[in-house]
DNA sequence: CTAATGATGTCCT
DNA sequence: GGACATCATTAGA
């Protein structure tokens, strides 16, 4: 049972506009072997531009890692940070114009048990994370939804893909807050301070302040 | 509560 | 060789 796919046309846009379109949309991980789908609402994103954006992976031009950023919109770009965390991006903008939107926070809606099972075993004596925070950060999104670099290149606008997007079906008019992107202190100004991180006000699944 | 630290592998000047 | 679009855990106030 697949839902309506996310309209690719909404992603064929400037990075910030595409990021805004993705806020509130659903992220779906198809269940394997009769397992239930994992679904959640995207509540935090960051927009990244092309070679001119000193904070973007595209800042060195096309490379083996980032080359899908230069392709058509709606494609997954997954990279590994700090040797252990897989982060999901949605390629946006027209072919030839590198841009992507990093999915930084998702509020779990369905398949919560599978998301929790994907987590590293909780250390003895440690507090267990609440359901709402199982994907409250870019590395956690990858973990909770079983995403890794092998998924780079899949079409997120095709509901038959292992990971896909679906339009927002919830109540409209969410309050969007814009702040600088996280962890990009290496970039020159004005890029380090661009308010290209968007999140839904009041969501419990927004990543922790840094 | 905040701050510090270790883990870990790939990427690029 | 240095840095990295991060997270969990521990130490300290």
* Separation between the CA of A139 and the C1’ of C7 (whole angstroms): 8
- Residue A1: the pLDDT is 57
Rounded percentage of chain A residues whose pLDDT exceeds 70: 97
Kindly state the tokens that stand for A14. 């400037």
At A107, give phi and psi (nearest 5°): -95, 115
Q: Is the CB of A186 under 7 A from strand C?
A: yes
The answer for residues whose C-beta is within 8 angstroms of residue A40's C-beta and 6 or more apart is: A26, A27, A106, A107, A108, A109, A110, A135, A144, A145, A205
Mean pLDDT value of segment A90-96:
98
Count other C-beta atoms under 10 Å from residue A203's C-beta: 21
User: What is this structure's pTM?
Assistant: 0.96
List pLDDT tens digits, range A150-183: 999 999 999 999 999 999 887 777 899 999 999 9
> Nearest nucleotide (C1') to the CA of residue A60?
B12
Distances in Å between the Cα of A109 and the Cα atoms of A77, A199, A200 are 23, 17, 16
Mean pLDDT value of segment A74-80:
98
Which residues are A38's β-sheet partners? A29
- Residue A109: the pLDDT is 97
pLDDT of A122 strictly over 80: no
Strand C: which positions are within 7 A of a protein CB? 3-10
Q: Is the CB of A60 under 7 A from strand C?
A: no
- Residue A210: the pLDDT is 66
Per-residue pLDDT band for A2 (boundaries 50, 70, 90) equals: low
- Residue A203: the pLDDT is 95
A19-37 CB burial, b ≥16 within 10 A, e <16: bbbbbbbbbbbbeeeeeeb
3-state DSSP assignment of residue A164: strand
CA distance A61 to A36: 40
Per-residue pLDDT band for A127 (boundaries 50, 70, 90) equals: confident
Mean pLDDT of all residues in chain A? Answer: 95
Rounded percentage of chain A residues whose pLDDT exceeds 90: 87
């Amino acid at each position: 049972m697949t839902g309506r796919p996310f309209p690719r046309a909404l992603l064929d846009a400037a990075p910030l506009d595409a990021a805004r379109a993705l806020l509130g949309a659903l992220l779906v991980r198809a269940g394997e072997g009769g397992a239930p789908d994992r679904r959640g609402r995207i509540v935090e994103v960051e927009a990244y531009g092309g070679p001119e954006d000193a904070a973007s992976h595209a800042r060195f031009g096309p490379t083996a890692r980032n080359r899908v950023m230069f392709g058509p919109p709606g494609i997954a770009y997954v990279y590994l940070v700090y040797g252990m965390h897989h982060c999901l991006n949605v390629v946006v903008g027209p072919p030839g114009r590198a841009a992507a939107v990093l999915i930084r926070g998702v509020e779990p809606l369905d398949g919560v048990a599978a998301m929790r099972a994907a987590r590293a075993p909780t250390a003895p004596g440690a507090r267990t994370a609440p359901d709402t925070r199982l994907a409250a950060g870019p590395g956690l999104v990858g973990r909770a939804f079983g995403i890794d670099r092998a998924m780079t290149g899949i079409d997120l606008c095709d509901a038959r893909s292992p990971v896909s997007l679906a339009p927002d079906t919830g109540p409209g008019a969410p309050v969007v807050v814009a702040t600088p992107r996280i962890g990009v202190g290496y970039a020159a100004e004005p890029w380090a301070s661009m308010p290209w991180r968007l999140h839904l006000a009041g969501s419990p699944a927004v990543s922790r302040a840094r």
